[in-house]
């Protein structure tokens, strides 16, 4: 089979949580493959602007639009503006999420709801609203999960529970949306070096985890983005309801 290049030419993509880290890498890779991209941000407008500038400097098309994915009114406005900017949506990447550690004795309702509101409710609201603007010919939805959805390390019980929920949403949505020719899959990254990891003082922990992988290093956002491009493209046309683990061989 001959694959067309660039693989996403003529497609429109929305990436939530794309001002930095994994989301920024995804947005730039989608654009490099020909997609026009909405770079969503929660609070980091400057970071989103840098991602857009890098995409446009390379000849791509991108716009930055802010929104809180856990706020229904905000997300309705966001997708309306996204459709005005680019037109029908072909690709949705539900990447917005937060990572927080909390041992069992320190879990609070605030911690629980903060993580579930962004990591789980945010995907539900974004997917519901995006469907109003999806291309009638179908498309692809990719949710960002994590290896902790099944790995279940200590001190990340609530975060891990949110990612297990993401895997469940992925499988269920894939069945609901198949009739609309919309495929739904997830990516499940292993330890990735991001600005957020550095900001939380966790980089040494992540480097140590990376050294435990079969490939012996911590991952980078650029290691994750090609998997998203694959799931967004016709090359994965018979894949839906799957979780793609990209973790350097972490066991």
Q: Which residues are catalytic?
A: 159
Q: Strands across the sheet with 139-144, in order? A: 62-66, 36-41, 12-15, 91-94, 139-144, 182-189, 243-246
Helix, strand or coil, per DSSP, at residue 8? coil
Q: Which of 192, 191, 144 is nearest to 169 (CA)?
A: 144
Burial class (CB in 10 A: 0-12, 13-18, 19+), 98: middle
Whole-number Cα distances in Å, 237 to 140, 230, 240: 9, 9, 8
Contact criterion met (CB below 8 Å) for 155 and 113 = no
- Output b/e per residue, 158-183; b: 16+ Cβ within 10 A: bbbbbbbbbbebbeebbeebeeeebb
């Amino acid at each position: 089979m001959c694959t067309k290049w660039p693989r996403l030419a003529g497609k429109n993509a929305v990436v939530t949580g794309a001002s930095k880290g994994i989301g920024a890498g995804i947005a730039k890779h989608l654009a490099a493959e020909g997609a026009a991209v909405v770079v969503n941000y929660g609070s980091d407008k400057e970071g989103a602007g840098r991602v857009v500038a890098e995409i446009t400097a390379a000849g791509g098309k991108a716009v930055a639009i802010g929104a809180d994915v856990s706020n229904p009114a905000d997300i309705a406005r966001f997708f309306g503006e996204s459709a005005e900017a680019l037109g029908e949506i072909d690709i949705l990447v539900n990447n917005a999420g937060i990572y927080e550690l909390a041992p069992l004795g320190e879990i609070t309702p605030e911690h629980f709801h903060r993580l579930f509101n962004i990591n789980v409710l945010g995907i539900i609201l974004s997917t519901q609203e995006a469907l109003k603007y999806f291309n009638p010919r179908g498309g692809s939805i990719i949710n960002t999960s994590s290896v902790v959805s099944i790995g279940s390390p200590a001190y990340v019980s609530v975060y891990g529970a949110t990612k297990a929920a993401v895997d469940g949403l992925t499988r269920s949505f894939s069945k609901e949306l198949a009739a609309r020719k919309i495929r739904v899959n997830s990516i499940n990254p292993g330890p990735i070096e991001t600005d957020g990891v550095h900001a939380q003082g966790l980089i040494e922990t992540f480097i140590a985890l990376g050294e435990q992988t079969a490939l012996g290093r911590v991952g980078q956002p650029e290691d994750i983005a090609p998997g998203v491009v694959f799931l967004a493209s016709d090359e994965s046309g018979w894949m839906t309801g799957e979780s793609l683990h990209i973790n350097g061989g972490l066991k």
